Amino acid sequence: MTTTGTAIVQAARSDTGGWQKFISLGLTMLLPIHVGVPVASSVFSWGVLLSIPLLPVIARSFKSFRFVPAIIGFTAAALVSGLLLTSVASQDHLVNTSYLWVTVGSVATAVFVSIPTLLWTRACSSTRAAALAFAAGSILQTLATPDSWDGNVWKFGLSFPVSVLLLALVWRARSVVLPLVVLALVGTLAILAGDRSYFGFVAVVVIMMFLPRARSRPTKAKSVAAVIALVVAGAAVYSIGVTLALKGFLGERNQIVTAAQLRASGSVLTAGRSESGAALQLFANRPLGYGPGVLPSADDVAIGQQGLAGRGLDLTGQYVREYLFGTGFKLHSITSDLWVNFGLAGIGLAAVFALACAAALVVNITRSEASPLLLLLGVVGLWNLAFSPIGSNLGDTVFCVAMLLAPTVAGRRSISDPLAPEVLAEASRGRSSRH
């Protein structure tokens, strides 16, 4: 351990209050910042590098949150599975060793460093403070890397962190007016930036904010009703959003793109996320997965193209040749990418992440109060797992998951976090018992 790392560990161990809070918030702000990292910047951020020597202290907070054993278990199994799959596939496939270690390293650091650091910050401070710190770091990273904007800084860089920052700032508001103003602002910016997906996220959050609230102790039946409400809300937003886009209410660009996608495949969802067709076809052909770093063979590309047929993509175009199958399998979905690289254990890890997001959403919409911030994190987390590439969205997704993990019964005694899903539940029960 370095001298600096030793000093930080000693400071953290000797102070259970201010220093741990200060250090944890600093590390959380640095988690998204990769600019200037001297080694493997695609894997390590400044926050990850500085958190590693602190792991003996940071990891203590792990036991205070639910789903953690499952996350650790599936991640360990996935990493072992991925290396075994690559070894098997190397007999008849080429392997990109560099991409192998980037993929393995990214998942390992995300789960074993980033999530513990975020949970430590929640334990030392609060979910709100952790969200503010991470969002600030993400904004700095975006502004420092203009090449990542692809000409649209809001859609490809600022939409998520700015939304998190603003919703965290107004979470203490006594009415829904300020959160609604924030959501209206980011929804409008999404329309102006041609980002239909993010506009949909905002619309779903607004709907969930106004769902009827339970005034008595939640039951399994009410939880099931909440899940149904989530599905119905998503379907309604999709249907209404397509109609508004076609009529031009979401901007001229969205009108043109939506009409073209409907002509190409009959569905905005399948045309907009056509990579899912390739993932399903590849899964049917090789359900155990391929392994990180494995390069697609000509047969694999042909199988993937079968799944893409009829979804509006040029099967021999640059996107398919160079992105989806050029330097490895890139299926534009964290779940699909976890499967293709780590096999069934990767799917298990994605399922645990999804369950954590869904459970937090259910808690929020079945209690007497809901946090717009947590609702947005749940929606974005689920969307990323289904439709966003692992390379650019894993960091934001593990942030969502870490913010949404509920404290255990023992953990609630030591975590004074008014935004934690389970603390919201306890507060709701207390208010209900007084009626």
How far, in Å, CA of 77 to CA of 80, rounded?
5
- pLDDT tens-digit series, residues 64-106: 899 999 999 999 999 999 999 999 999 999 999 999 999 999 9
Q: Which residue has the higher pLDDT, 422 or 311?
A: 311
Mean pLDDT value across residues 369-385: 93
Q: Is the pLDDT of residue 1 over 80?
A: no
pLDDT at residue 219, rounded to an integer: 62
pLDDT class of 17 with cuts at 50, 70, 90 = low
Q: Which of 4-8, 177-181, 220-224 has the highest mean pLDDT?
A: 177-181
Say if CB 334 and CB 309 are below 8 A apart: no
Q: What percent of the chain has pLDDT over 90?
A: 60
Distances (CA, A) of 38 to 42, 101, 107, 140: 11, 17, 20, 18
pTM: 0.87
Of 118, 116, 140, 141, the residue nearest 129 (C-alpha): 118
Give residue 13's pLDDT: 42
Whole-angstrom distance, CA of residue 28 vs CA of residue 356: 20
At residue 255, the pLDDT reads 79
The mean pLDDT of 169-175, rounded to a whole number, is: 86
Strand partners, 95: 294
Which of 93-107, 112-126, 262-276 shows the lowest mean pLDDT across its residues?
262-276
Query: Is 166:136 a contact under the CB 8 Å cutoff?
Result: no
Q: Is the pLDDT of residue 268 over 90?
A: no
Taking Cα atoms as reference points, which of 266, 220, 231 lies closest to residue 366? Answer: 220
Least confident window among 34-38, 256-260, 308-312, 390-394 = 256-260
What is the structure's pLDDT at 397?
Answer: 98
Residue 427 has a pLDDT of: 44
Predicted pLDDT at 196: 87
pLDDT category, 264, cuts 50, 70, 90?
low
Alpha-carbon dihedral sign for residues 219, 221, 226, 230: positive
Q: Find the mean pLDDT for residues 333-337.
A: 96
Q: Cα–Cα distances in Å, from 122 out to 22, 78, 129, 227, 257?
A: 12, 27, 8, 27, 41
Residue 213 has pLDDT above 80, yes or no: no
Q: Where is average pLDDT lowest: 9-13, 65-69, 185-189?
A: 9-13
d(CA 179, CA 188): 14
Burial class (CB in 10 A: 0-12, 13-18, 19+), 298: exposed
pLDDT at residue 140 greater than cutoff 80 = yes
> How large is the average pLDDT for residues 387-391?
94
Look at residue 134 in the predicted model and tell me its pLDDT.
98
How high does pLDDT run on average in the chain? 86
The whole-number average pLDDT for the span 231-240 is 79
Q: Distance between CA 332 and CA 200 in Å, rounded?
A: 19
Identify the residue with better confidence: 377 or 421.
Answer: 377
Residue written as token pair 């590098």: 49
Which residues does residue 65 pair with via DSSP β-bridges, in sequence order?
407
